[in-house]
Amino acid sequence: MGVLGASRLFGRLDREVLRQLRDDFHGEHIESGQVIPRERLSAEFFIVEGGRVERVYSDRESGRELTLETLRSGGGFSLLSVLDGEPSQNMTVAAETSSLLAVPVSVLRRWLPMYPDLSAAFFRELSEQLRRLESLAGELACSNTLTRLARLLVHHAVDHSSSLLESHEHLPLEIDLTQEELARMIGSVRVVVNRHLQTLSRLDAVELERGKIRIRDFERLSELCELPLREHLRAG
């Protein structure tokens, strides 16, 4: 059943049940930079079918932005709206051209008591989302910017290939994020991220070339994260 069957939320459901539920979803494409209206976020639940979508906090006074969550294929958003019907106060934007599956919140709310596996997955996903936000708040309060950047790069690499711990055959690994995107993800600004990337480059942890960022040394990055690399693998 494609991305729906592979998603963490719906993946445990029987294939026949998935076929029935799929009929209530509709697909759509959104262009890079397109913002999903807040009123839709309170009325519909979305799953990313392809591409990349970000949930972003934006400070009106300073104009600074913080990426709260990055969602790729199989990731779902509008979880809280399923519970309270209220729109998110944060911005949800396509970081690249993306395809989405959407279903009315009222329909998903009706499904939860009908399918125990779906209900368990929903609250597990909601719990993990809250824990990620808790971790982010702790890092913003207690970790310096260089440490946060190093952790982000390591986690990004682990998400792509945990086998890199045992074999460096894929090094250097190119990061598919811009400096502006990295800055939003760690609550900083581009000029600061650029300065820290230059520091990491001098340490031979990353290499910079024509706007591209490539990881060269995971162990060195891990030392800057203040945790052994295997701890990141377990956390991931």
One digit per residue, the tens of pLDDT, for the chain of length 236 reads: 689 988 989 999 999 999 999 999 999 999 999 999 999 999 999 999 999 999 999 888 788 889 999 999 999 999 999 999 888 889 999 999 999 999 999 999 999 999 999 999 999 999 999 998 888 888 888 888 998 899 888 887 776 654 444 545 456 788 888 899 999 989 888 999 999 999 999 989 999 988 889 888 888 888 877 654 444 334 44
Whether the model clears a pTM of 0.85, i.e. scores above it, the answer is no
**pLDDT value of position 170:** 56
d(CA 194, CA 89): 29
State the DSSP H helix or E strand holding residue 53, giving kind and residue range, or none if neither. Answer: strand 53-58
Contacts of the segment 184-192: beta carbons below 8 A, 24+ positions apart? 184/54, 184/56, 184/65, 184/66, 184/67, 185/66, 185/67, 185/70, 185/152, 186/139, 186/145, 186/148, 186/149, 186/152, 187/64, 187/66, 187/140, 187/148, 188/145, 188/148, 188/149, 189/64, 192/145
Give dist(CA 153, CA 148) in Å, integer: 9
